[in-house]
Amino acid sequence: MKFEFTEEQRMVRDMVRRFAEEELKPKAAEMDKKGEIFPEIYQQLAELGLFGVYVPEEYGGAGMDVVSYATVIEELSRGCASTGILVSAHTSLVVDPILHHGTEEQKQKFLVPLAKGEKIAAHAMTEPGAGTDVVSISTTAKREGDYYVLNGTKHFITNGKESSIYLIFAMTDKEKRHKGMSAFIVEKDTPGFSIGKLEHKLGIRASSTAELIFENCKVPAENLLGQEGQGFYIAMECYDGGRIGVAAQAVGIAQAAYEEAVEFAKTRVQFGQPIANFQAIQFKLADMATMIEAARLLYLKAAWLKQEGKPYYQLSAMAKLFASDIAMKVTREAIQVHGGYGFTEEYPVERHYRDAKITEIYEGTSEAQRLTIARNLLKG
């Protein structure tokens, strides 16, 4: 067993860490306030090849591996959690399924610009009446000649505002339940497709969360991803991979908060000495560092399993469950170390605390992760 990055993985981590430190961290608070990721960030992410980390070079990607990808998400999130989920949702939830289920034509037309970062993607399953219970979605797709006609409303869609390629899940046959769900690639300018309201959120405020509306939206039949009725399975695969991204994002948020806490503890003087001298603070820092390391190892193992083509959904569920949980604990304790200062906008830990919460919810709530894990260990 070898607990070491390859030379390329280390170079990627070092580069993204530096990029996040120099380019993202100084802008993160302002982007959070303004509720947008600045356009130059998209440009930089594309130039650095971060929108297609493990996409093969022939499709415009960097041709790297899933471990590099997950590490990229952690490092980006350490600088700005919204930027982390921008890349994670783009890659895990749209790029990945097109890479694995797309036809050659779909790959040339959609995957290449997505991997190069010329276009951004969003994945749309969730509806007002269907969260964890995805089979109850009410968006429908009806075949009419060379088209499918989509009707329905999606909400809480990450990257909803800035995307130009959407992966939409709709029922082609409601009777068949999960076997009647299909996935469609929809371009932004398709008639009948519009973007509805944007959400104002507790955290990851720079990441857009939009409502998508389909009114007799005619999608070319060749934009069906995989087979009719395969949508549910494609979606489940997406979430298995997406959980690695969210786990890495949670670790990045926790790491950022932890570093702030260490820095503050070393410089804040009370009772004539830095508060880092007090065991009460030292124990907090020790617990934080230990939890972060454990969560990081979990997501790295899940990423490695995926890269090796081995079953990884159990590990990715564990990684997401644990990492999101410790992100909440670490960010909460980071505020505690800061005392009253941590409760103000003067210090970034309040933002890390707000950003952490969503990792327990999206791409499968912590409760859903526990179900996945428990069902797997009790089966057979």
Partner 1 sequence: MKVVVFCKSVPDTETRVKLKDNRLDKSEIKYILNPYDEYAVEEAVRMKEAGKVDEVIAISMGPERAREALRSALAIGADRGILVKDDALDGSDTYVTAKVLVKALEKDGVDYGMLLFGQQAIDGDTWHVPGQVAEMLGLPQTGSIIKLEVDPDAGKAVANRLVEGGEEIHEMSLPCVVTCRKGLNEPRYPSLPNIMKAKRKPIQDYSIADLGLSPEEVGKAGSLTEVLSYSLPPKKEAGKKVEGEPEEVVQALVKFLKDEIKVI
Using the minimum distance from each CB to partner 1, give the nearer residue, 50 or 141: 50
User: Is residue 105 part of the contact set for partner 1 (CB under 8 A)?
Assistant: no
Least distance (Å) between residue 130 CB and partner 1: 36
Least distance (Å) between residue 56 CB and partner 1: 11
Q: Give the number of residues in contact with partner 1, rule: CB under 8 A.
A: 18
Least distance (Å) between residue 357 CB and partner 1: 31
The Cα–Cα gap between 251 and 291 comes to 9
Using the minimum distance from each CB to partner 1, give the nearer residue, 212 or 275: 275
**Residue window 16-35: x/- pattern of binding to partner 1, with contact defined by CB under 8 A:** --xx----------------
Closest CA to 45 of 82, 75, 9, 83: 83
Using the minimum distance from each CB to partner 1, give the nearer residue, 37 or 64: 64
Least distance (Å) between residue 79 CB and partner 1: 13
Closest CA to 197 of 135, 138, 130, 128: 128
Question: 65: which 2 tokens?
Answer: 């591996």
What are the two backbone dihedrals, phi and then psi, of residue 63, each rounded to the nearest 5 degrees? 70, 30
User: Is residue 41 part of the contact set for partner 1 (CB under 8 A)?
Assistant: no
Near partner 1 by CB under 8 A: residue from 53, 238, 248, 300: 53
Q: Is 363 annotated as catalytic?
A: yes
Question: 380: which 2 tokens?
Answer: 């057979």
Query: What would you report as the CA-atom Rg of the chain, rounded to the nearest whole angstrom?
Result: 21
Least distance (Å) between residue 47 CB and partner 1: 6
Near partner 1 by CB under 8 A: residue from 2, 3, 4, 12: 12
Query: Which neighbouring-strand residues pair with 217?
Result: 150
Least distance (Å) between residue 18 CB and partner 1: 7
Near partner 1 by CB under 8 A: residue from 30, 40, 47, 293: 47
Near partner 1 by CB under 8 A: residue from 37, 62, 111, 204: 62
With contacts defined by CB under 8 A, name the span among 42-50, 148-156, 159-167, 264-272 that binds partner 1.
42-50
User: Is residue 11 part of the contact set for partner 1 (CB under 8 A)?
Assistant: yes
Active-site choice (105, 215, 363, 367): 363
User: Is residue 67 part of the contact set for partner 1 (CB under 8 A)?
Assistant: no
**Residue window 335-374: x/- pattern of binding to partner 1, with contact defined by CB under 8 A:** ----------------------------------------
Pairing state between β 165-171 and 121-124: parallel
Active site residues: 363
Tell me which residues touch partner 1 (CB under 8 A): 7-8, 11-12, 14-15, 18-19, 47-50, 53, 57, 62-64, 68
